[in-house]
Amino acid sequence: MFTFASGRLAASGISVLRCLKQLTRTPNYTRQAQLLFNSQACSALTPSRPSYTHRLLSIRTVGWPASRLCHGDSQGSSERANTKEDFSLKAISQAPKAALYLGFGGLIPFLSAPVLMAATQSFYPEVAYAQVVYGAAIVSFLGGARWGFTIPAGSPAQPDWMNLANSVVPSLLAWFALLCRDSISEGALVVIIGLGLSLHYDLNLLPGYPAWFKSMRTVLTLVATFSLVATLVIKKFCTEKRIREIQS
């Protein structure tokens, strides 16, 4: 009788040692692993047989979901890092010289209007409307460039309803801005909306644009928008004068 009891105790000790070895082999275990170990140790010391669920459970699988989740987080962070690296204002230094000169040269009509009115401390409706007309032409040009981007064979942007319709919207906004001849403020606001919508299309909806083009488009759009806002501020705080009255 004593020999049988000592044999059972020895077998229980061996099972407990096996559980300890499994726990030491596992690098990270949670509270569930501790509870599982306690239940296995108690079942080994009691005369009853372990349940069927304890046989199916394994401590080695506890560390798998954590490693899996960490791996997924690393993939997500790498994808987010790649997305941030694709769009950076520093990429404008990689732009071709022709694109830089022509792009920033196109800001001259935008900036000359508020600079002229600020220097004279007067608001000229003819000058402001000329700025709105030029802005409408630029908005329409951006829509046409997007249309042409979808036409060549092998282009990442397909000539489907979505891309072509988005290319037409800036032209419609530019046409509406030209109709606001009697209200410079409304025309300028429509041009600002068209510039912002075109920038949203170029950065988020259409794939395939290089990083230097996205950064240059961002800078040009911001400068053009601020110039229109400056014209609206001058209109509000400066006296209005007509160029025809000055000539006469």
Over residues 138-142, the mean pLDDT reads: 96
Residues 171-227 pLDDT 10s: 999 999 999 988 999 999 999 999 999 999 888 877 678 889 999 999 999 999 999
Amino acid at 76: G
Amino acid at 224: A
pLDDT tier at 153, thresholds 50, 70, 90: confident
Query: What's the pTM?
Result: 0.64
User: What are the φ and ψ backbone dihedral angles of 239, each rounded to 5 degrees?
Assistant: -75, 145
Please count the other Cβ atoms lying within 10 Å of the Cβ belonging to residue 78: 10
Question: How many whole angstroms from its chain centre is CA 90?
Answer: 17
Q: Which domains does the chain have, with CATH numbers?
A: 2-83 (no CATH), 89-247 (1.20.140)
pLDDT tier at 21, thresholds 50, 70, 90: low
Tell me which of 215 and 9 has the higher pLDDT. Answer: 215
Reply yes or no on whether the pLDDT at 117 is more than 60.
Answer: yes
CA distance 15 to 76: 42
CA distance 133 to 135: 5
Reply yes or no on whether the pLDDT at 67 is more than 80.
Answer: no
**How high is the pLDDT of residue 87?**
65
Reply yes or no on whether the pLDDT at 6 is more than 50.
Answer: no
Reply yes or no on whether the pLDDT at 142 is more than 70.
Answer: yes
Q: Are 195 and 224 in contact (CB under 8 A)?
A: yes
Residue 194 Cα distances to 135, 141, 155, 180, angstroms? 9, 11, 24, 14
Over residues 111-116, the mean pLDDT reads: 96
Reply yes or no on whether the pLDDT at 242 is more than 90.
Answer: no
> If you write DSSP's letter for every residue of 128-160 in order, what string do you get?
HHHHHHHHHHHHHHHHHHHHHHHSSTT-SS--S
Over residues 100-116, the mean pLDDT reads: 96
Q: Which of 34, 55, 33, 60 is nearest to 44 (CA)?
A: 55
**How high is the pLDDT of residue 224?**
97
Tell me which of 66 and 133 has the higher pLDDT. Answer: 133
